[in-house]
Amino acid sequence: MGESGFAKIHKQLLAHLKCGDHSNERYCWRPGEPPYGGKVHIRLNGSDLEQWAMVIKNMTGTLFHPPENELFWKLKAKYNPENPQRGTQRSHTPEPHYRDQTVCLEIAQAPPIAQAAQYSPTLCGLRRRSNSQVDTATSSPIKGFHPRDYNGAGLQAFLTWMTSYYEDEDYLDLFPVLQGQKLGIDLFKKALNNSTQANKLEHKLEKANVKCGMIDRLMMDFENWYTEYVRDL
């Protein structure tokens, strides 16, 4: 499987934004203009990095110029040194515009849910999130991801971690393959400690023409990625 143009750009962006000033692996945007002066760390999640890589691919951004959209404007404003609320975590309050394919929610700050809802991984179009949608996301079985993100941002984050861990871009190139078959992170989580679900997932991955060695590593390392992801929330 050859390395796609997007995968090359994504790899370059990760290398550019990887920040060594933290105990764990993080990717930080450090705007150079005043009042930031390259000293303020704006932590980016998997979806943020995906959006940035996409605008570079579309030639509307560069390694030094992130997307010009509301999400990045709000992140920049939140970490402005002159902002008295600087340094607070990302809020669970719904954003006015739903970011493409993903929502990053801080579970610890989410309002209590009276009763867990039933979930469907059906993908929905871009739209504003209602309060009920936010509640569903905060009580999602995959902590930190709304069910509609299982095949999108969640899968992207997992494959990005695999790419970084093994230094192998072929894992990131699996994204369109697995997304097209709706093989999202919820299925990987169901396969944990469940041999029946694990066998079903392995069979589906084989049918999607994923290389056998990659199948083994994806299934073995999912728990490691998820444990690390949840710890960093």
Q: What are the pLDDT tens digits along the chain (233 aa)?
A: 555 678 888 888 999 999 988 877 889 999 888 888 888 999 998 888 988 988 888 888 888 889 888 888 888 888 888 876 654 444 433 333 333 333 333 323 333 333 333 333 333 333 333 333 334 444 457 877 888 889 888 898 899 889 888 888 889 889 889 989 999 999 999 999 899 999 999 999 999 999 999 999 999 999 998 888 777 65
211: Cα within 13 Å, side-chain hemisphere: 8
Q: State the pTM of this model.
A: 0.47
Please give the pLDDT value at position 154: 85
Please give the pLDDT value at position 169: 85
User: Under a CB-based contact definition with an 8 Å cutoff, are residues 117 and 135 in contact?
Assistant: yes
Closest CA to 184 of 216, 213, 146: 146
| Whole-number Å distance between alpha carbons of 33 and 181 | 43
| Whole-number Å distance between alpha carbons of 154 and 54 | 17
Please give the pLDDT value at position 2: 54
Please give the pLDDT value at position 38: 87
Torsion of Cα atoms, 177 then 182 then 183 then 189, to 10°: 150
Taking every pair of Cα atoms in the chain, the longest distance, rounded to a whole number of angstroms, is 56
56: Cα within 13 Å, side-chain hemisphere: 21
Residues 6 or more apart whose Cβ sits within 8 Å of residue 81: 35, 36, 40
| DSSP 8-state class, residue 90 | P
Please give the pLDDT value at position 146: 82
Q: Where are the domains of the chain?
A: 5-78
